[in-house]
A and B are shown apart, each in its own frame.
Chain A
Amino acid sequence: MKTDSAWKAISTWFGGGSIIWTLLGLALLLLVDAVWVKDFFTLEWRDGHLYGTPVDILHQGSKVMLLALGMTLVIATGGVDLSVGSLMAVAGAIAAWALTAGGMSAASALPLALLVTTLIGSLSGLLVAVLGVQPIVATLVVMVAGRGIAMLVTGGQILTLQDPTLRFIGGGYFLGLPFTVTLVVALLALTLFLTRRTAFGLFIEATGDNETASRFCGVPVRLVKVLVYAFSGFCAALAGIVATGNIHAADSARVGEMMELDAIFAVVVGGTALTGGRFHLLGSLLGALLIQTLTTTMYNLGVPPTVAPVPKAVVIVLVCLLQSPVFQARLRTWKKAKTPEVTA
């Protein structure tokens, strides 16, 4: 009884019933890795750093995890943010420009990049909340414009960067683990603080679950919407800085390409419904981890990375089907039709 309620608490914390599927999926992947991939779980402590495939997965998956935190809140209001991939490029480009042509130090260049990107991100929020544009459309506009802005800032070139701070953010080690892990934990803590220590979390969930009723209660629905898109922009900026640090360069054309899809995927797999309402930050991180494990596993199995999208697509459709009320109803009638046969 006690373990039962404890399990319930844990599972709601992560994302209700659907989290079991995510965990199962992850376990299945890890099993595949354990059997077929040599030395998958081997961790090694060298020069005060931890090395190994699981550590790599955490490091590689950090960008999607950062994006997924912001995306979770947007999706919880019933929206979606397609612009995060482009915004990553914007943040990288601005940071690179400020560090090189702008001659700034990292201490001022990085905050500048964060600020500008957040502002651009909140533009979609304004379009959605004030003008009533559909979220897909509004963020599509920002997505198209963002990539262009990023390319303009870097002049279409790949800017190589030698800044030690940036390199540390993208590839440094902290407490024996890649610094990106710390960054994800810090952003998670910030997001949890902002949503659970204030009433924003409640307002976001109420808005996504029943916008009309929320408005009738006096919930500032518009403000909530603007803020979640701004926050998603902020998360994208962080991910963009990490990506730029990863490769020691701002590559405006490629950075963050298709990342928005991975982020949406992570959120949906993590148990937050696309229709909005209850959100699960830890579930989203788990979802991001699942994607990265999938990618890494396939890489280790020799599947070319370009083919990796195929299983991703299959998983997305399956998850959507499982969440679809129509599909659930069908499944139930199918089961019902099946049971009498079995018992008879």
Chain B
Amino acid sequence: MRLLRRQHIPLLATVGMLIVLFSVASALYPGFASLRVVANLFSDNAFLGIVAVGMTFVILSGGIDLSVGAVLAFTTILIASLVGAGWHPLLAISVALVLGSGFGAAMGWLIHRFILPPFLVTLAGMFFARGMAFLVQAQSAVVSHPFYDALGDLRLQIGPKAYLPITALLFLLVVLVGIVIARRSRFGRAVYAIGGAEASALMMGLPVGRTKVRVYALSGFCASLGGVAATLYMGSGNPAMGSGLELDAIAAVVIGGTLLTGGVGSVFGTLAGVLIFGTIQSALVFDGRLNSWWLRIVIASLLLAFILLQKALARSASAHP
């Protein structure tokens, strides 16, 4: 058994990158290397992270989901207005999660049944969900309910002045569950197989159609759950929230070492990708001099670097079988 394998290079590069980035930021900015900053990395990026876990499965299966940002926004405003109308928050959350998953499943069905391009169907899904979000309520609304406030205040102390709020805990839970699904469920392995070689997966007797529909349902579920996290984080719902979130999620997944063509990658890598994203953002905040728009450019460069790394690895792999 070799410990270091070619397929581990992208993940190692990601983790290495995270360590280097964090170290450099710690050296440059006093106070960066603290538990509080680390805790904030998790809580500030919780909903991006939750969405990215769902996106990981979609990309692993060889697809893409552009609707996640809009579904997240729809969820936040739906919960806000349902709670505002007197529903119990748990009921509102359940309804939102079911709607999000169902919406994803519907897109997955269209993609699978009529062989439509995923990017176009989910693009339409993005339009649809965004419009519906504004139809539910055009302005942002505060979620006010004693239960909700109590839920939002839940937190776990991990050190002096360092807390993991409920959103961060939710994020970590989703990552854990995601890892288990990806590694240890037949569904998860079928996702890898389909993304790796769909025709072979079909010949091997795997349930290709069912798996594809479920992948988009899972992504829709994660997007809604991200919406739940967002309402807990901000205490309000907003139909305009999360525009461009799908791109951040895709970027985090790819930087996390998942192949955009599908079949290779990990949920753990996505966690690292999200943390890289968060570290750069925090570093820019700490610096204060640099424009926050550097984030976009750095992310795009990282994205490009990882795509090129993957291409190079694929090429050298085919040269030396």
Contact = CB atoms under 8 A, between A and B. Distances in A.
A and B are interacting partners: yes
A313 B124 contact: yes
B257 interface: no
Contacts of B128: 309-310, 313-314
A313 B129 CA distance: 9
A206 to B, nearest CB: 22
B303 A144 contact: yes
A140 B135 contact: no
Question: Interface residues of A: mostly helix, strand, loop or mixed?
Answer: helix
B260 A137 contact: yes
B23 interface: no
Question: Interface residues of B: mostly helix, strand, loop or mixed?
Answer: helix
B131 A140 contact: no
Contacts of B296: 144-145, 147-149, 151
A24 interface: no
A131 interface: yes
B131 A156 contact: no
Given A80-B119, A137-B307, A310-B132, A316 B114 contact: no
Interface stretch (B30-38, B39-47, B209-217, B286-294): B286-294
B135 A316 contact: no
B131 A313 contact: yes
Interface in B240-258: 240, 243, 247, 250-251
A309 B127 contact: yes
Interface in B121-177: 121, 123-128, 130-132, 134-135, 138
Given A314-B128, A320-B121, A148 B114 contact: no
Q: How large is the interface on B (under 10, 10 to 19, 20 to 34, 35 or more residues)?
A: 35 or more
A151 B125 CA distance: 28
Interface in B78-135: 110, 113-117, 119-121, 123-128, 130-132, 134-135
B66 to A, nearest CB: 9
Contacts of A152: 291, 293-294, 297
B12 interface: no
B127 A313 contact: yes
A191 to B, nearest CB: 23
B131 A310 contact: yes
Contacts of A155: 291
B300 interface: yes
B99 to A, nearest CB: 15
B245 to A, nearest CB: 12
B300 A141 contact: yes
B64 interface: yes
Contacts of B247: 140, 143-144
B295 A307 contact: no
A320 B292 CA distance: 39
B307 A141 contact: yes
A327 B111 CA distance: 12
A131 B64 contact: no
Nearest to A317: B124
B261 interface: yes
Contact of B297 (A132, A134, A148, A306): A148
B294 A148 contact: yes
B21 interface: no
A314 B125 CA distance: 9
A324 interface: yes
A320 to B, nearest CB: 5
A49 to B, nearest CB: 34
Interface in B178-228: none
A313 B103 CA distance: 13
Contacts of A321: 110, 114, 116
B299 interface: yes
A136 interface: yes
B8 interface: no
A317 B123 CA distance: 10
A271 to B, nearest CB: 16
A143 B251 CA distance: 12
B27 interface: no
Contact of A320 (B120, B291, B295, B297): B120
B273 interface: no
A304 interface: yes
A324 B300 contact: no
Contact of B293 (A156, A308, A316): A156
A140 B244 CA distance: 11
Contact of A326 (B64, B113, B131, B311): B113
B304 interface: yes
A313 B125 contact: yes
B207 to A, nearest CB: 19
Contacts of A127: 307
B180 to A, nearest CB: 28
B26 interface: no
Contacts of B294: 148, 152
Contacts of A306: 130-131, 134, 138, 239-240
A326 B135 contact: no
Nearest to B293: A151
Nearest to A260: B123
Interface of B: 64, 110, 113-117, 119-121, 123-128, 130-132, 134-135, 138, 239-240, 243, 247, 250-251, 260-261, 291-297, 299-301, 303-304, 307-308, 311
Given A141-B300, A151-B293, 10 more contacts: A133-B311, A136-B64, A152-B294, A310-B127, A310-B135, A313-B125, A313-B131, A314-B128, A321-B114, A324-B114
8 contacts: A127-B307, A144-B300, A257-B243, A307-B134, A307-B135, A309-B130, A314-B124, A320-B120
